Amino acid sequence: GVDVDGDVVMTYREAIVSATAPTRAVIIGGGAAGLEFAYVYNAYGAHVTVVEMEPRILPKEDAEVSAALTRSLKKQGIDFLTGSKVTGVERDGDGATVHVETPDERVSLHVDRVLVSIGIVPNTDGLGIEDAGGTLERGYVQVDGELRANGDGLFAIGDVAGTLPLAHVAQAQGAYIVERIAGEDPRPLDYQAMPRAVYTNPQVASMGLTEEEAGADGRQVKVGKFPFLASARALAAGASEGFAKVVVDASTGELLGAHLIGHDVTELLGELSLARIVEGTAFDVGAVVNAHPTLSEAVKEAALAAEGRAIHI
């Protein structure tokens, strides 16, 4: 465990309101939040090292996306220690020394900020959940598929419900519950269609299953990929880094997942999420006529590539 003091050793709660930027920082955790802070600190001129216990950053995202983001952030000056763990943090004056065990050696890094970004803890203490008939497990409210925490009007949404810990997911859950309470019949929530985003530069955007996850489910998949280097809009913007990638069921054409890295790719997931919600196929996405030149053409081309029908590559 690492003791958070809110001064040198912080979580995102303290870091996001800090009035100063570090000169040297260690980020513990290579997930979305850790990488976003690493990017920001680096942009302000700090020397940043990200320590991740898994073999790669963004371990739950597509492996190709993870590798591409690693290369890009390294070029920007961020260091990574993957497959590594922090064995201790010692406060030292206005800074701290972080001891790290890597696959090859033990290193000590002296920094003026340590950001702990290794997950969230649900803030359910003292809410009386169990008194109201709900059940807690590791602090999370146990809910059914309709977000009911008991049979008597208790619901839970957002991070405490243990689903995707994202603001837009909580908003969608809140709207769903309000409609249920009002007697409406809302569309069931499809968490596979909900977007995930990492606001580095380049951005990362994804939804649904990765190739690895689809394979673990026993599915045969096809993959379509289109590089932004072949996008006229990306070239015009001077932002040709990255690609759009879709994962498709090989037998049905069902869109199982989408994984993008590049300039403003978080804006491109809408049509893919919609295709997933309405049970559209890669063929359907490939039939969309996108304005030219736009970044969204890459989504169409990736879908066409999955069907062996790519036009511009």
Query: Comparing C-alpha atoms, which of 1, 18, 60, 2 is closest to residue 35?
Result: 60
Q: Which among 110, 263, 292, 312 is annotated as catalytic?
A: 292
Question: Residue 65 corresponds to which amino acid?
Answer: V
Whether residue 263 lies in the annotated active site: no
Catalytic residues, by residue number, are 292
